């Protein structure tokens, strides 16, 4: 049995995928909200940029560092480049405005869970500030929960947890940035 989620109300609909062939299109009507939507068996419309076999290639896209996301339940790794300014981290949802979207089935990650602000400090070096969203399950740094909208300066190798997912910050080496 497989479950699909209604794109409008997030209600789950269960069906027996063994009755259909790979590539076949199915149309569902959500019993909760009446939304009609379609899926194709065996394929996904999710962005495939992070689902490549070599996610470390995405680290090349950023001059300002990146985060490595390791979903603890499935050990699924994603590399998401950071940009200068506010990087909003949260669960992927179409048109959510999150610029560091994590593709996950972890229901404990909010759509707008936390953010990392990349800026230049007084000494000209890159500074990374982690802030909780606020989120329902919290953001943990060194096993200590951040308060709602609490900020903490983090550095290369900092491990923080959102929901049941671990995230590691990788800062940009200043020498590499000037190349």
**In the β-sheet with 100-102, what is the strand arrangement from edge to edge?**
100-102, 85-91, 114-120, 126-132, 151-154
**Which conformational region is residue 60 in: left (phi greater than 0), alpha (psi within -120 to 50 degrees), or beta?**
alpha
pLDDT tens-digit map of 122-137:
999 999 999 998 788 8
Is 47 a domain residue? no
Q: Is residue 95 domain-shared with residue 120, that is, in the same domain?
A: yes
Residue 109 sits in a domain whose CATH number is: 2.60.200.20
Distance CA 156, CA 179 (A): 20
Q: How many domains would you assign to the chain?
A: 2
pLDDT tens-digit map of 95-106:
787 889 888 878
pTM above 0.85, yes or no: no
Q: Is residue 85 domain-shared with residue 156, that is, in the same domain?
A: yes
User: DSSP state, 42?
Assistant: T
């Amino acid at each position: 049995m497989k479950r699909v989620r209604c794109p409008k109300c997030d209600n789950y609909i269960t069906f027996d995928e063994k009755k259909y062939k790979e590539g076949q299109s199915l149309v569902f009507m959500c019993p909760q909200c009446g939304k009609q939507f379609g899926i194709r068996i065996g394929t996904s419309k999710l962005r495939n940029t992070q689902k490549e076999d070599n996610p470390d290639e995405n680290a090349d896209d950023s001059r300002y560092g990146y985060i490595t996301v390791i979903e603890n339940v499935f050990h699924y790794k994603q590399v998401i480049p950071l940009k200068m300014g506010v990087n909003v981290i949260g669960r992927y949802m179409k048109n959510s405005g999150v610029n560091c979207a994590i593709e996950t089935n972890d229901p404990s990650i909010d759509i707008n869970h936390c953010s990392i602000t990349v800026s230049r400090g007084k000494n000209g070096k890159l500074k990374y500030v982690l802030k909780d969203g606020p989120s329902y399950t919290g953001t943990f740094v060194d096993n200590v929960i951040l308060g709602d909208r609490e900020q903490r300066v983090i550095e290369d190798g900092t491990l923080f947890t959102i929901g049941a997912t671990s995230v590691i910050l990788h800062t940009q080496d200043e020498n590499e940035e000037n190349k």
